[in-house]
Every structure is written in structure tokens, then in C-alpha cells.
Chains A and B, each alone.
Chain A
Amino acid sequence: MMQAMRTHDPSDLGEPSFRTEPTHSEDGVDLTLIHWMLSLSYEERLLVLQSNLRSLRGLGVASTRE
């Protein structure tokens, strides 16, 4: 029988919690991704986008080979 997975807050385990502010806005937008993107230079932001597209393309190639 599958047991329900129990999740722990790091502080339960004596580990420091890293959550000092909400990770998502009320409408569900991931704020951590926005903060990360804002920490990058303009060129790095474009390279992230190009890298994502390359990865998606790679996934497409992989799925057609299966």
C-alpha cells in the first residue's frame, strides 16, 4: 500500500528555513524566477531564452526518436 508522502518544513528538522518572502504572487506567478531573471545581465537573459529554446528543440528531437 502506498503511504501518503509527508512533507517537512526544513525548520522541523532543525535546518534553517530559507523562506523569508513569498515564492509566488496571489495570481500564481513564480516570483523566484522573476528575481533570478532580474539578477542577470541583458545578454544573459537572452542567452537563457535561447538555451531554453535549444532544450525544447532537443526534447522534440528526442520524442520523435522514441
Chain B
Amino acid sequence: MSRRWALTGAVALLLAAAGPAAAQGPIKIGEINSFSGIAAPFTGPYRQAVEMVVDEINARGGVLGRKLQVIFRDDKGQPAEAVKHAQELVAGEKVVLIAGTFLSNVGLAVSDWARQNRVLFVAAEPLTEALTWAKGHDYVFRVRPNTYQQGVMLAEKAAKMKYQRWATIGPNYEYGKRAWETFRDRLRQLRPDVQVVGEHWPTLGKLEPGPFVSAILNQNPEALYVSLFGSDWLAFVREANKRGLFQKMFVVGILLGEPEYIEPLKTEAPEGMLVTGYPWYDIDIPAHRDWVARYQKRFDRHPMLGSLVGYITYLSVAEALRKAGSTETDKLVAAFRGLRVETPIGPIAFRAVDGQSTMGAWVGFTKIDPKRGVGIMVNHEYIPGDRVLPSEEEVRKMRAGG
């Protein structure tokens, strides 16, 4: 009897010792993104980069002695679907945090669910400012520079130009509205003489360009601010090219220098636009050149902005896990505050006050690259995200108001 108990005790002890080892399975991370639906054109490169960075981290031994494992879920572009996945990933798969999302409304839905359930959410690509400000909370962090930051970057450049009469066209969608308002307000601060002669808000994903192009031409602005994207932007350019719009006015386009938006136009891409974007072919940082080479070698295609964001998102997650020394949510949240991450484009940090990263964007002008037969950015400048962020005081006010 006693021998048997002793044996049982020994086994129990062994099991207890093996306990942590048994928990040494991979650290699971839940990735929710729009792999089908309206945002699907932009999430493929993001996913590739996530797979790449996780493989690289695991090849170096993983994090906290454990491998990383990413579980992908398709939100189909619908907020309610994304929340269902978040519930399943946390309750069923026991992921330590949720990352990803592209569309703003999907990001907001997951963020609010994360706040309610005290789960860490690292938003990769949604652009709405509300995510970290008016609707911000302790459990959400965001990688990509938001609409406000990119609008301000462009306004500060545009203010130095001679143009007074402005018009805009953007999707009838919160992103389009805020992209214009932040740009316009900053421009007016710097240039009180600016007038707005026209605003155009076609339905997202259904732009019939003809009537809008002729209406803009009829208003005859000196400059046009564009926040269209995806298929709307492509259709608009084709019509505008045929009607000579780009010869008649200066055009500023938020995000439109990103390869996602300029490359499908091939040589139809308009030249001389002021844009924010990602000139991956022309960034003079050794770590970045090396990253592009690794990416091209692995996937036989060049990176998009989504690739860069995916890569940085999971670098940040790994760094936070290391800093926290734990997979517990509260420790991870504390680790993310002020977290510094070495990325292929240099160091970034997640601000403690709002969880917004200081990743920036490139501002420059478009030109056709005859060799590759696509539009590229020239005369560009990297603007770090923190240079165009509101002060911590203002951010606190916005967060309290929300």
C-alpha cells in the first residue's frame, strides 16, 4: 500500500515537474483579418509577411523558449463575424492575444469586445483615429499611422504650395470623411486663404466615375484631395485620364503611393501627385534592403505596405512577450506601453498614453517607372508618426470624451 502511494506520489511529482514543460506548447496568437470580401485585395501580402516573421522568430528559438503559432481566421469584412472569431480564438484556442484586422469598423468591433473581455488586441491596419482616441482603452494598440496622422503629413506639404481653390473626392465612409476633415482643418490652420469649392462622396465600392469627373472639372479647382482607394480609385483614374483631369489640377492622394493602390494602374498611374505611401524600392536602410531581399526570395514578389505592417505587427508582439516575460494579458498590456521595437524601417515605439505606434509614412510624388511599368514615389521623405501626433494632453481629453 505504502509503496503504491509512494509510487503515485512520485508520478504526481513528476507530472507536476512536467507541468510547465507540458505548457511549453506554442504560444498561440489569434489573427483575424479580411481574407475574403471587400478588403481581400490588401490582406494577402500581410498574411505572407506574418507567416515569414513567425518562421524567422521560431527559427531563432521562438519567444520565452516557446514557438509562436498564429491561427488565422477570415472575418469576411464583417464586424459581427470578427467578434465570433475572437470569442472562439480566446475561449477555444486559448490564444494569448488577438491581432490583425483591416477595416475600421471590424477593428472597432474587435477592440470593444477586447475591452469588455480584457483581452489584448493589437490592431494592425485599421486607420480610424477613434480606435486609439475617442474609443480608445487600455487593451488596444495600433501599428499603422492613422488617418489623422497621414492627413496632417499631407496638409503640411500642401500648405507650402500655391494652391488656394480645393475640392475633394472620397468614399462615403468614415475613413473618407475623416481623411478629408483632418487634411482640410490642418491646411486651413496653415493657410487661412484656402477655399473649398466642391466635395464629392461616391458610395464605397460602387464608383461610377464619369459624373464625378465632369462635376469636378466643372468646379475647376486648382487642387484635388483624393481619399478613394481600391477599385473606386482605379476606375476614377481611368476616367480622369481620358478627360485630362490630371493636367488641369494638382492632386493629393492619401495612401495612394502604396504599391497596393498604384501598381494595379500600371502605366495609367497619374504622375506628379502628392501622396503618402511606401517606396519599398528606394529606402536606404540596410535592414530594410535585407528584409526586401528575404521577402522576394521567399515569395518571388516584392512586398506591399501590408507586408511591412504584418511584419512589424508580429515583431512587436514577440518583443512585448519578451519584455513581459509572460503570456498574461495584464503583463503584456504593461509591456506594450512604451514598447520599443527594432523594425526593418528603424525603431518604433508604442505610446503609453494611447497605444498608437510611432510608425510613420513616406510622403512624396508619383512618377512612372518605365523599367517596371508601374507608378512609384520619388522625392519622398519619411515622416515619423510621432511628429504628427497630437499632444498627450489632447489625446487624454479625446479619450475621456469618448
User: Do A and B belong to a common assembly?
Assistant: no
Interface residue ranges, B against A (CB under 8 Å) = none
**A residues neighboring B (CB under 8 Å):** none
